[in-house]
Amino acid sequence: MDNLTHGLTGALLGQVGLKRKTGLAMPALIIGANLPDVDAACFLWTTGAEHLAIRRGITHGPIAWVVLPLILAALLYGFDRWQTKRGKRPEGRLPVNFKWLYLLSFIGCLTHPALDWLNVYGIRLLEPFSSRWFYGDILFIIDVWLWALLGFATWFSLRREKRGGEWRRPARLALSAALAYIGANAGITVSAEQEADRWFHGSNDANVETIANPVPIAFWHREVLLGEDGYWTQFNSSAWTHSGGELIELSDGFCRYDRSVFTERRNAADAFLFWSRAPFAERAPDGSVLLRDARFYDPRARDRFTVALPDVACEELPAEAGAD
């Protein structure tokens, strides 16, 4: 998920009462909720799509869940001691307890992979022990409804606290509502996948993968992707109800791609195919190959999820490919 969602989650956890456990609890929860994204620094030394093979890996795995909160807790504890020595420690701050700082940093850090798992981008939850990608297919990566719920609840709880009212209850209700919203979206995803299976390939075709891709704003819809062997089709989750499930080809020019012939962009192509869940090759205007991913396909532009292979010629797929 985006960093605003992560930060609001940490803040709301503080407002349920956790911020009263120790001084600097809110920074521990909010920073901890965003800390696994330190891997974004890879943009400083990678080019093109090479960052895709680095993101959501080692900093989102089990070792990081333990080590990153420890580093954060130590920095916050040291910051409190530094302010105390300089006589600049705020008088209203609660005493700082390192054990609680670590525990809250740990809780905040754990919310990050849990939320990242909810979308179709993918996360390597077991890195470095396994490089397998995991996908929840439940929420779009930026969910404005979750923003609204978490943001309003945090503001309302803080407002209540400032006025001397009961401020924990609104935060707890909001967290319960957020979990219910996530659960409802999980049900929508499962329903869309099952309906697609019944309409298009049934349970006997084990090679065809079904991906129910959440879309922006309209959380009740899914863009369902069906594909195998580099050939993908898509339809809206309401399409079968209104038009019998008409399929839309993602591209007018599907290509074969052979990893053994990659030369100029070998690193980028390898990184892309390591990350990609729904890869396919498209004919570029010059007859070369564009590697794309059906989850993030935009026919109008070459986005950051596209790798151009100018040294590889597009070989059209046979006519029967994807016919089923």
Segments making up each domain of the chain, as ranges: 3-136, 193-245, 254-316
Cis omega before residue 95 (within 30°)? no
Question: What global pTM score does this model have?
Answer: 0.87
User: For strand 279-283 and strand 209-214, is the pairing parallel, antiparallel, or unpaired?
Assistant: unpaired
State the average pLDDT for the chain: 85
Q: Residue 323's pLDDT is what?
A: 40
Q: Residue 94's pLDDT is what?
A: 96
pLDDT, tens digit (0-9, with 9 covering 90-100), for 91-103: 999 999 999 999 9
Q: Residue 27's pLDDT is what?
A: 97
pLDDT, tens digit (0-9, with 9 covering 90-100), for 96-141: 999 999 999 999 999 999 999 999 999 999 999 999 999 999 999 9
pLDDT band at residue 239 under the 50/70/90 scheme: very low
Among 226, 244, 224, 219, smallest CA distance to 236 is for 224
pLDDT band at residue 25 under the 50/70/90 scheme: very high
Q: Residue 229's pLDDT is what?
A: 62
Q: How far apart are CA 291 and CA 309, in angstroms?
A: 8
- DSSP structure class, residue 123: B
Q: Which residues of 262-282 are buried (b: 16+ CB within 10 A; e: fewer)?
A: beebebbbbbbbebbbbbbbb
Residue 59 backbone dihedrals phi, psi, to 5 degrees: -80, -5
Q: Do residues 21 and 95 lie in contact, with contact meaning Cβ atoms separated by under 8 Å?
A: no
Which CA distances in Å does 246 have to 85, 189, 236? 69, 19, 9
Q: Residue 224's pLDDT is what?
A: 87
pLDDT band at residue 236 under the 50/70/90 scheme: low
Q: Residue 316's pLDDT is what?
A: 65
Helix (H, G, I), strand (E, B) or coil at 219: coil
Query: Cβ neighbours of residue 116 under 8 Å, at least 6 residues apart?
Result: 1, 36, 56, 60, 123
Q: How far apart are CA 241 and CA 274, in angstroms?
A: 35
pLDDT, tens digit (0-9, with 9 covering 90-100), for 240-269: 433 333 344 444 456 665 555 554 456 778
Among 1, 267, 37, 271, smallest CA distance to 131 is for 271
256-197-125 Cα angle (round to 5): 70
* Residue reference for tokens 């850090």: 109
* Burial category of 118 from C-beta neighbours within 10 Å (exposed 0-12, middle 13-18, buried 19 and up): buried
What average pLDDT does the segment 25-46 reach? 92
Q: Residue 235's pLDDT is what?
A: 72
- The token pair at 67 is 């080590």
pLDDT band at residue 45 under the 50/70/90 scheme: confident
Q: How far apart are CA 123 and CA 115, in angstroms?
A: 10
Q: Residue 247's pLDDT is what?
A: 40
- The token pair at 214 is 């959440």
